[in-house]
């Protein structure tokens, strides 16, 4: 009888812990102005898109699309001040549409390495496709 009481207490504590964990919301990212990319995107997925699709795909650095903070050279990632950022959004939408419409990809996501068409398909390391140095 004492043994079953002990197990009962352990089970109850376990349930409390599990319920407690489930009740804690997943930590939200701090990104404030995502319009095409998922709002709950992880920092890892977002960073990989920025590096693989934009930095390597277009041969640019962060400041190509992101404006600087006022009175500083640090980047204000949420700012829409630079027109290149809105163009990047349009390009991402176009890329998703092309994959969905012409390559029958269901729910295409930027950063998915299995996509038929990605930024680098046309850009080939250049900010504007077809540019030659």
Partner 1 sequence: MKNENYISVDKNDDGIDRAGFLKCMAWAGTGLFCMMSGGVMKSYGMSQLIDKNIGLLKKGLMLPKADFTFAQISDSHIGFNKPANPDVVGTLQAAIGKINAMPVAPSFILHTGDLSHLAQADEFDTLDQEMKSAKTGKIFYVPGEHDVLNDNGKQYLQRYGKDTKGDGWYSFDYNGVHFIGLVNVVNTAEGGLGVLGNEQLEWLQKDVKGLSSSTPIVVFAHIPLWAIYPQWGWGTRDSEQALSYLKRFGSVSVLNGHIHQTLQKVEGNITFHTATSTAFPQPQPGAAPAAGPMKVPAEQLRTLLGVTSVDYVEHNHTLAVTDTPLVIANK
Contact set with partner 1 (CB under 8 A):
43-44, 46-48, 50-52, 55-56, 58-64, 72-75, 77, 124-126, 133
75: CB partners within 8 A, 6+ apart: 62, 63, 66, 67, 68, 69
SS3 76: strand
> Nearer Cβ to partner 1, position 44 or 107?
44
Query: What region, left, alpha or beta, does residue 74 occupy, with left being phi > 0 and alpha being psi -120 to 50 degrees?
Result: beta
> Nearer Cβ to partner 1, position 5 or 74?
74
Name the strand (E) or helix (H) holding 75.
strand 75-76
> Nearer Cβ to partner 1, position 8 or 125?
125
Distances (CA, A) of 57 to 25, 54, 60, 95, 120: 35, 5, 8, 13, 5
Rounded least distance, CB 95 to partner 1, Å: 19
Name the strand (E) or helix (H) holding 68.
strand 67-68
> Nearer Cβ to partner 1, position 50 or 92?
50
Rounded least distance, CB 119 to partner 1, Å: 12
Rounded least distance, CB 44 to partner 1, Å: 5
Rounded least distance, CB 105 to partner 1, Å: 21
């Amino acid at each position: 009888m004492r043994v079953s009481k002990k197990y009962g207490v352990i089970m109850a504590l376990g349930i409390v812990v599990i319920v407690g964990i489930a009740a804690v919301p997943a930590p939200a990212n701090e990104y404030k102005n995502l319009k095409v990319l998922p709002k709950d995107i992880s920092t890892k997925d977002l960073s990989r898109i920025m590096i693989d699709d934009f930095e390597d795909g277009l041969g640019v650095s962060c400041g190509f699309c992101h404006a600087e903070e006022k009175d500083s050279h640090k980047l204000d990632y949420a700012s829409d001040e630079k027109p290149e950022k809105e163009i990047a959004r349009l390009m991402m939408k176009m890329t998703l549409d092309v994959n969905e419409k012409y390559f029958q990809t269901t729910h295409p996501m930027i950063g998915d390495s299995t996509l038929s068409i990605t930024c680098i398909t046309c850009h080939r390391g250049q900010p504007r496709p077809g540019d030659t140095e």
